[in-house]
Chains A and B, each alone.
Chain A
Amino acid sequence: MTFIGWLQIAALFLAVLAAVKPLGLHMVRVFTGERTFLSPLLRPVEAGFYRLAGVDERKEQGWLAYTLSMLAVSIAGFVLLYAILRLQAFLPLNPQGFGNVAPDLAFNTAVSFVTNTNWQNYAGEATMSHFSQMAGLTVQNFLSAATGIALAVALTRAFARSKAATLGNFWVDFTRANLYVLLPLAIVVALAFVALGLPQTLDASATATTLEGGRQVLSLGPVASQEAIKQLGTNGGGFFNANAAHPFENPTALSSLLNIFAMLVISAALTYSFGQMTGERRQGWAFLATIAILLIAGVGAVYWAESAGNPILDELGLDAAAGNMEGKEIRFGMAGSALYAAVTTGVSDGGVNAMHGSLTPLGGLVPMFLIQLGEILPGGTGSGLYGLVVFALLAVFVAGLMVGRTPEFLGKKIDGREMKYAMLAVLILPVAILGFSAVSAMLPAAVASIGTPGPHGLSEILYAFTSATGNNGSAFGGLSGNTLWYNTTLGLAMLLGRFAYVVPVMAIAGSIAAKVKSPASTGTFPTHTPLFVGLLIGIILILGGLQFFPALALGPIVEHFAMLAGTTF
């Protein structure tokens, strides 16, 4: 670890911090229906969309109708994307002449992009036509992110309102998230990406005659436009197989920082919007502090582990001072790779600029653990905020048990009903992650997919289901996931992680909205203080993390000691 490395990390977090308030306020204006500076241009488009879709924008929905609308658009997106992938060969903009995507891979990919996971069991440049990348995958990058933002806004309204029967109109929130938040940011970031060197062309490839007289085919495509929304929407699905380690997706250290900034900024700013809309601005900052403490600790842990390097390789005569360079790019080095690895997993992005499967055991444990904490640091666009609120409810409940008070959060009494839904939601992660991993570890056909045997093999399986259930999308790439077993089970894990989590959260929103919002009294446990931040961190680590400790002990922790002992598998 070096001072310069930490300076780079600090600069990134400060840049995000500077953007939190302006972007957070912009989103408040967007979702309270105020005019914004974009309205003159976008309002006619928005109104036209409502007219064609038959949406009455003044009509609000209760939690159930809101949830059903969300499910309907997810199903429509799934059907369209599945159809595009299955019919790829007959569709335009296919200069490489790729064939149709196989049914199980198309299922996995469609689920993956609709649930904002973007797990990829395919190599982009060798599988997907430009049409599939643009009209299929890029669209879902927007829509799945807008869906998350809409749900977070609905939950926020539940805490802002008193005795309310409705949470807003899903179609309006969804449309406005796309038009006023994601699209303008994507245009700016995409053009910045081209300026930093990302290709943006409809050509399939260029062929070079190398200096030594060989032939090199350089895959190209509309990369910048997809990368922009891939990061802003915390999707993470790369244009190329190597994702943001590929020099065309991420040519310089500066483009890498812009990638990380883009994946953090909306989720971080939503904490401010939450505070502003509920009238408790300090609550937003308390959430942001919680996120920052855990995330920076994660970055530091990966940075330390990767800088310490791999003694097995160093013993062969490598210079140990450089750290573990397997799977990393020179231009990013230890600090840039560690920062990306921790943020992409804290954020539910899942793009990578270094191969996570080749991280040192402890350096790989941290990203896996950050996903297992529930993708709330600050999590996916929208999904992170509602996940964090669920943990906040658990924290006030635990605090209430300790001091014998009725738990309250932002003036709303928290009862058994909300706690049951909250537990239903947080239990999805261990059930899907540990359940599917356990079965896979027992099935010879599933074990055969492992790349590196020994404890790392268990880590590969565990990481895959962690990533799928957490809707992250990054991978320990040694596992060959494109099999019938993994395409299907990972698809199911992604569906559970998204929808089995969202439905109880929306039920909480409905029940909270209906309650009276009472002003704080002397008996109220304040939820914006350092004490609460500490309590929330404790709940996240204990409730979110501890249940995975036995599995992590058998994977990365055993592997760490094996590495120190010089054992290979």
Chain B
Amino acid sequence: MLRQLRPAVVLTALFTLLLGLAYPLAITGAARALMPAAAGGSLIRKDGIVIGSALIGQAFASDRYFWPRPSATGTPYDASSSSGSNLGPTSAKLRERVAGEVERLTAAGIATPIPEDAATTSGSGLDPDISPAFAAAQVARVAKARGLPEADVAGLVSRHAAGRLFGFIGEPRVNVLKLNIALDALKT
């Protein structure tokens, strides 16, 4: 066993330098040089101030904005502490929570059957997207709160709806933060 000690210790140390420091630092340098926006977290800035990341969902409660999915993080959409609910399919807590969401959404004028994603939490608690069905169901509420014609808001939603890549990879979706930024930019 002693004969194994030197190669074990020396190779572990050398590989720590190569794979633990040189490799990630070289990738960091290359990423910053070649793709600075992505490497920095795809941040969206407005007047020089960071207002979010294109990839990360944000909490919205006001009627003037499209709402995201419910979030299981401590405070909704806490991007420093990602988490799913991890509740099992027969959990009473899950049933109670979804029932509460259904009540909230019907009170906000969304007809049943409610889009599945509107009342369930995502795996990360940070899902940036909602389904096109959930977005469509919110058009009337947002248009009314902003005093805009429904057709304008619906048009905005369809312009922000993303389809499947090459027609078969992924799912149709609407990025809520980008949609709401565009909404703010819309002339009232």
| Chain B residue with Cβ nearest A480 | B86
Most buried by B among A171, A226, A242: A242
Asked, given contacts A142-B15, A220-B41, A252-B170, whether A312 binds B90 with beta carbons under 8 Å apart, the answer is yes
User: Contact flags (1/0) for B69-100 with A, using CB distance below 8 Å?
Assistant: 10000000111111111111111111100110
Q: Within residues 307 to 358 of chain A, which ones have a CB less than 8 A from any CB in chain B?
A: 309-310, 312-314, 316-333, 336, 352-355, 357-358
Whether B11 and A73, one on each chain, are in contact in the complex, defined by CB atoms closer than 8 angstroms, is yes
Asked, given contacts A4-B164, A323-B116, A563-B90, whether A253 binds B123 with beta carbons under 8 Å apart, the answer is no
Is A175 engaged at the interface, CB distance under 8 Å to the other chain?
Answer: yes
**Which residues from chain B contact A200 at a C-beta distance below 8 Å?**
27-28, 31-32, 39
CB proximity of A316 to chain B, nearest CB, Å: 5
Whether A206 and B81, one on each chain, are in contact in the complex, defined by CB atoms closer than 8 angstroms, is no
CB proximity of A214 to chain B, nearest CB, Å: 7
Is A187 engaged at the interface, CB distance under 8 Å to the other chain?
Answer: yes
Q: Within residues 186 to 208 of chain A, which ones have a CB less than 8 A from any CB in chain B?
A: 186-187, 190-191, 194-203, 205-208
CA distance A247 to B127 in the complex (A): 7
**Which residues from chain B contact A310 at a C-beta distance below 8 Å?**
89
Asked, given contacts A205-B80, A248-B56, A569-B92, whether A319 binds B170 with beta carbons under 8 Å apart, the answer is no
Whether A211 and B4, one on each chain, are in contact in the complex, defined by CB atoms closer than 8 angstroms, is no
| Chain B residue with Cβ nearest A247 | B55
Whether B11 and A175, one on each chain, are in contact in the complex, defined by CB atoms closer than 8 angstroms, is yes
Whether B56 and A456, one on each chain, are in contact in the complex, defined by CB atoms closer than 8 angstroms, is no
State which of B19, B81, B170 has its C-beta within 8 Å of the C-beta of A138: B19
Is B153 engaged at the interface, CB distance under 8 Å to the other chain?
Answer: no
Whether A201 and B32, one on each chain, are in contact in the complex, defined by CB atoms closer than 8 angstroms, is yes
Asked, given contacts A310-B89, A328-B122, whether A211 binds B102 with beta carbons under 8 Å apart, the answer is no
State which of B11, B78, B94, B171 has its C-beta within 8 Å of the C-beta of A330: B171
Q: Within residues 47 to 71 of chain B, which ones have a CB less than 8 A from any CB in chain A?
A: 49-53, 55-62, 65, 69
| Chain B residue with Cβ nearest A182 | B19
Asked, given contacts A49-B11, A191-B31, whether A197 binds B38 with beta carbons under 8 Å apart, the answer is yes
**Which residues from chain B contact A142 at a C-beta distance below 8 Å?**
15, 19
Asked, given contacts A211-B58, A253-B170, whether A135 binds B7 with beta carbons under 8 Å apart, the answer is no
CA distance A81 to B120 in the complex (A): 38
Asked, given contacts A242-B83, A246-B82, whether A454 binds B16 with beta carbons under 8 Å apart, the answer is no
**Which residues from chain A contact B115 at a C-beta distance below 8 Å?**
318-319, 322
Q: Within residues 151 to 188 of chain B, which ones have a CB less than 8 A from any CB in chain A?
A: 164-165, 167-171, 173, 177, 180-181, 184
User: Contact flags (1/0) for B120-150 with A, using CB distance below 8 Å?
Assistant: 1111111111110100000000000000000
Most buried by A among B10, B23, B60, B106: B23
Asked, given contacts A241-B82, A324-B89, whether A222 binds B41 with beta carbons under 8 Å apart, the answer is no
CA distance A27 to B46 in the complex (A): 50
| Chain B residue with Cβ nearest A309 | B116
User: Contact flags (1/0) for A61-82 with B, using CB distance below 8 Å?
Assistant: 0000100110111011100100
CA distance A324 to B24 in the complex (A): 37
A-B pairs, top 10 by smallest CB distance, nearest first, are A253-B170, A245-B123, A456-B88, A452-B88, A135-B20, A322-B116, A333-B171, A72-B4, A242-B82, A477-B86
CB proximity of A55 to chain B, nearest CB, Å: 5
8 A-B pairs in the complex with CB atoms less than 8 angstroms apart: A194-B34, A194-B38, A200-B31, A245-B82, A317-B112, A329-B124, A357-B84, A455-B90
State which of A197, A214, A217, A254 has its C-beta within 8 Å of the C-beta of B55: A197
Is A360 engaged at the interface, CB distance under 8 Å to the other chain?
Answer: yes
Whether A326 and B121, one on each chain, are in contact in the complex, defined by CB atoms closer than 8 angstroms, is yes
Most buried by B among A174, A202, A330, A452: A330
Whether A327 and B170, one on each chain, are in contact in the complex, defined by CB atoms closer than 8 angstroms, is no
CA distance A331 to B162 in the complex (A): 10
CA distance A200 to B36 in the complex (A): 9
Whether A209 and B90, one on each chain, are in contact in the complex, defined by CB atoms closer than 8 angstroms, is no
Is A102 engaged at the interface, CB distance under 8 Å to the other chain?
Answer: no
Is B30 engaged at the interface, CB distance under 8 Å to the other chain?
Answer: yes
